[in-house]
């Protein structure tokens, strides 16, 4: 049996409401909101979070593949998947592949991962998806596009959602596109695309899948498909020919928005609370054709319910409201003062075990954590007597400072010393939080972020964000740019 053994997701802490856009442009954009990545986030950082969420209860040594799918990968020439695998602390023998160029890049990666595991060339592959797309300022599409990431572990071990059959079609169709020199998405006539794109292509894929599998519509409990907005979602539920109870509601589209490549896996997460062992599902990815999967829920489905709880927690926690002007600044549409730090790629390459994989050394004589790595223990003086360790990502604020002078996206820049669970300390910057909420003892979690672009490339490292966020009170984003590269102790044994 081959299928999905684990799921993970990540939804940014910030949101842009339709009401705020309506006030800026003087036109009604309806209601609802969309998830917005912070200024230090991109598709790669979000997919690291989703991957870690997916693998949080598993040993990374058992994973031998990672497929990264996105239409907005930060690097056009340089593999993104290898960086994701490194931050997730996967082994160097991991097969890493980038997929892009289509909204169904995620489901295409899923199908190829299934084939790789079925053939025996890989044991377990993480398919991780993310998008951070931009519509033209002031357009309706701008209010519909949401940022987020979702991941699935494909294997033959402890399968919770088995894949019974697959079916794909290729259809050249110009609906939504972005050329290499375009900064925003473009789209064709909505009515034409709705009828001959989303509806007809999805319908053809479903019909082909049912015929290939020898199934009828009444054999299917839930149908998951891609829709860019609520209106098209409702149109498709009327056109696809299933009972209305087989479709998901449109709540995710109104709270998060159209997450592009990540949409199918997000929808699969949403359906977990409504299915039981033995139920059959159809999952369809759309984009210049379609990929369709016939899935069957196994008795191990209960293990994935915690993933649904994680998604619900992210959706119901306080999401800090970002103003439209700050959103444009975060997307580099409006320039702002940025530092130009020195960055050495040889140093980053040399220290990636500690800076990306979050590893250090523990003294075998006194258990003191060493970071940066040294030959002589700072506590007991023992020499060359260490073991590899990995830090816990959770902790609390021990002390902090606020810097109102440093040039940054927003002010103040907050640097903090974090007491890690079980001991050890980590010096880094706080992100995704209101400066007024920072206090000694604040529970935080390390999160992978883009620090700066010194040297002409993205410099990624770990920041800290609050663990729990309460109901929103209309606060606006106060993002920051880091001061220096951080040092960090490590805890958990490798």
Least confident of 118-132, 168-182, 195-209, 360-374: 360-374
For position 318, what pLDDT does the model report? 61
Q: Is 438 left (phi over 0), alpha (psi -120 to 50) or beta?
A: beta
CA–CA dist 271, 284 (Å, integer): 14
Q: Give yes or no for residue 405 having a pLDDT over 60.
A: yes
DSSP 81: H
- Place 472 in a pLDDT band, splitting at 50, 70 and 90: very low
Q: Give yes or no for residue 494 having a pLDDT over 50.
A: no
Q: Encode pLDDT of 258-280 as tens digits.
A: 999 999 999 999 999 889 999 99
- φ/ψ of 60, rounded to 5, equals -65, -20
- Place 475 in a pLDDT band, splitting at 50, 70 and 90: very low
Angle between helices 105-119 and 263-270 (to 10 degrees): 70
Q: Give yes or no for residue 177 having a pLDDT over 50.
A: yes
CA distances from 397 to 58, 377, 404, 420, 439 (A): 28, 25, 20, 9, 7
For position 409, what pLDDT does the model report? 79
CA–CA dist 224, 167 (Å, integer): 15
CA distances from 240 to 227, 263, 267 (A): 13, 18, 17
Q: Encode pLDDT of 74-121 as tens digits.
A: 999 999 999 999 999 999 999 999 999 999 999 999 999 999 999 999
CB atoms near residue 189 (< 10 Å):
9
**Which tokens is 356 given?**
């990306």
CA–CA dist 440, 400 (Å, integer): 8
Q: Above pLDDT 70, what percent of the chain?
A: 94
Least confident of 163-172, 289-298, 316-325: 316-325
- What's the whole-number mean pLDDT along residues 456-474? 74
CA–CA dist 381, 373 (Å, integer): 14
Q: What is the mean pLDDT of the chain?
A: 88
In this predicted model, which residue has the larger pLDDT, 204 or 375?
204
For position 84, what pLDDT does the model report? 97
- Place 26 in a pLDDT band, splitting at 50, 70 and 90: confident
Region(s) of the chain under CATH 3.40.47.10 = 3-330
- What's the whole-number mean pLDDT along residues 299-312? 84
Q: 36 forms bridges with which residues in the sheet? A: 14
Least confident of 152-161, 313-322, 445-454, 481-490: 481-490
CA–CA dist 390, 489 (Å, integer): 8
Q: Give yes or no for residue 169 having a pLDDT over 60.
A: yes
What is the residue whose two structure tokens read 């595991």? 117
Q: Encode pLDDT of 331-372 as tens digits.
A: 888 877 677 777 888 888 888 888 899 888 888 998 888 777
- What's the whole-number mean pLDDT along residues 209-225? 95
In this predicted model, which residue has the larger pLDDT, 215 or 181?
215
In this predicted model, which residue has the larger pLDDT, 234 or 303?
234
Q: Give yes or no for residue 468 having a pLDDT over 70.
A: no
Cβ(249)–Cβ(224) under 8 Å? no
**Which tokens is 145 given?**
């596009």
389 CB-contact burial (10 Å; exposed 0-12 / middle 13-18 / buried 19+): buried
Domain 3-330 class in CATH: alpha beta
Q: Give yes or no for residue 481 having a pLDDT over 50.
A: no
Strand segments (E) across 70-180: 95-99, 124-131, 148-155, 161-170, 176-177
CA–CA dist 358, 391 (Å, integer): 6
pTM for the predicted model, two decimal places: 0.90
CA–CA dist 73, 132 (Å, integer): 9
């Amino acid at each position: 049996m081959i299928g999905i053994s684990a799921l993970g997701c990540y939804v940014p802490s910030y949101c842009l409401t339709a009401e705020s856009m309506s006030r800026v442009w003087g036109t009604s954009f309806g209601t609802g909101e969309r998830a917005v990545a912070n200024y230090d986030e991109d598709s790669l950082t979000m997919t690291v979070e989703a991957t870690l969420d997916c693998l949080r209860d598993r040993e990374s040594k058992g994973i031998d593949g990672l497929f990264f799918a996105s239409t907005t990968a930060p690097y056009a020439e340089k593999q993104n998947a290898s960086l994701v695998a490194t931050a997730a602390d996967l082994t160097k023998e991991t097969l890493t592949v980038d997929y892009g160029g289509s909204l169904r890049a995620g489901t295409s990666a899923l199908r190829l991962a299934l084939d790789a595991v079925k053939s025996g060339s890989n044991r377990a592959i993480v398919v991780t998806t993310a998008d951070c797309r931009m519509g033209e300022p002031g357009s309706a599409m701008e209010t519909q596009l949401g940022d987020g990431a979702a991941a699935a572990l494909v294997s033959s071990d402890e399968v919770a959602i088995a894949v019974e059959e697959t079916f794909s079609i290729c259809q050249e169709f110009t609906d939504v596109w972005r050329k290499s020199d375009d900064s925003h998405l473009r789209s064709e006539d909505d009515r034409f695309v709705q009828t001959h794109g989303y509806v007809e292509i999805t319908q053809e894929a479903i019909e082909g899948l049912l015929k290939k599998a020898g199934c009828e519509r009444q054999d299917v409990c839930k149908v998951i498909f891609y829709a860019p907005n609520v209106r098209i979602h409702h149109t498709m539920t009327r056109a696809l020919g299933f009972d209305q109870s087989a479709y998901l509601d449109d709540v995710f589209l109104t709270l998060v928005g159209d997450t592009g490549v990540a949409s199918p896996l997000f929808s699969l997460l949403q359906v977990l609370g409504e299915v039981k062992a033995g139920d059959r599902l159809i999952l369809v990815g759309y984009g210049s054709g379609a990929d369709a999967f016939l899935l069957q829920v196994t008795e191990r489905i209960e293990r994935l319910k915690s993933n649904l709880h994680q998604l619900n927690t992210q959706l119901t926690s306080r999401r800090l409201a970002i103003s439209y002007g700050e959103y444009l600044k975060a997307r580099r549409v409006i320039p702002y003062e940025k530092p130009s730090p020195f960055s050495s790629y040889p140093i980053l390459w040399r220290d990636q075990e500690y800076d990306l994989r979050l590893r250090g050394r523990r003294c075998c004589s006194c258990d003191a954590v060493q970071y940066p790595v040294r030959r002589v223990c700072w506590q007991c003086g023992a020499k060359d007597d260490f073991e590899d360790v990995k830090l816990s990502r959770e902790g609390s604020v021990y002390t902090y400072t606020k810097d109102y002078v440093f040039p940054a996206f927003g002010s103040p820049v907050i640097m903090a010393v974090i007491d890690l669970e079980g001991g050890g300390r980590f010096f880094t910057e706080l992100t995704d939080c209101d400066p007024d909420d920072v206090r000694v003892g604040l529970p935080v979690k390390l999160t992978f972020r883009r620090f700066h672009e010194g040297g002409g490339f993205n410099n990624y490292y770990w920041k800290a964000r609050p663990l729990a966020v309460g109901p929103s009170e209309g606060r606006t984003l106060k993002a920051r740019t880091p001061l220096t590269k951080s040092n960090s102790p490590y805890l958990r044994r490798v």
